[in-house]
Amino acid sequence: MSVPQLQLNDTTPITPDDHHNNCLDKTSTRKSLHQNIFGKLRPLPFQYHWTVWYDKYTPESDDPSTKNKLYILHEDVADIATFYRVYNNYPWDKVRVRDSVHIFRKGVEPVPGDPENRNGGCWQFRVPKGKALAFFHEAVILCMANEFQAALEEEHDHVLGISSSVRFNSHLISVWNKLGGNERSIKTLEQTILERLSPDLRPSGSHADGYSYRRHGEE
């Protein structure tokens, strides 16, 4: 089965306002959050450059190291206009069950074995399908705008990327950090994610059912 391809036929920069005009959910809280973030992003390129990956699940493989195959969809997302050209043109509805899309710092592969990830982990959220794309979108924007990173500066930790993995009735959305052994950093990242997300996207129900922290070495 082929990987859903990214088609960037229109090179005209796509602005955040273009995206919002096409959104079905236009709650005032979410628009306020986005406008605040976009105001920070418009003048300058991102502090870090980002790569968009497609992660294809291949259950027929007998070799555990090749269970997933990684493909680069866009190698260098350097600013908000480039991000929206990717985000608005990608066929999100074509991502198959157990396949994943990752947006990671350029130079870091979205696998636990990458040197930057080896001692890290991730906050993993199980998000209902109806909210998954909005959750992923907000998490990525907050990540690229350094909202998560700024919260971890005192701990010398780094947020390395965001993943969305499709399941039957939900998506597993993960926020990866570098220091999986730093409990203060892990807790701070959790609090920052929950505080920065729009209220309607925050996990409901018990902590154990909605989300948890997973160290890569424990998987």
Average pLDDT over residues 18-26: 46
Instruction: Quote the pLDDT of residue 20.
Output: 44
| Distance from C-alpha of 160 to C-alpha of 149, rounded to nearest angstrom | 9
Q: Which of 74-83, 135-144, 207-216 has the lowest mean pLDDT?
A: 207-216
Tokens of 141: 């924007």
| Distance from C-alpha of 217 to C-alpha of 195, rounded to nearest angstrom | 28
pTM listed for this prediction: 0.81
Using an 8 Å Cβ cutoff, are 22 and 92 in contact? no
How many other CB atoms sit within 10 Å of the CB of residue 24?
5
Maximum mean pLDDT: which of 41-45, 56-60, 70-74? 70-74
Instruction: Quote the pLDDT of residue 205.
Output: 65
Instruction: Quote the pLDDT of residue 36.
Output: 66
Residue with tokens 């080896």: 118
Instruction: Quote the pLDDT of residue 98.
Output: 95
Asked if pLDDT for residue 99 goes beyond 70, the answer is yes
Q: Which of 10-14, 63-67, 149-153 has the lowest mean pLDDT?
A: 10-14
Q: Which residue has the higher pLDDT, 174 or 37?
A: 174
Instruction: Quote the pLDDT of residue 204.
Output: 77
Q: Please, which pLDDT band fits residue 21 given cuts at 50, 70 and 90?
A: very low
* Topology of the domain comprising 46-218: RNA Cap, Translation Initiation Factor Eif4e (3.30.760)
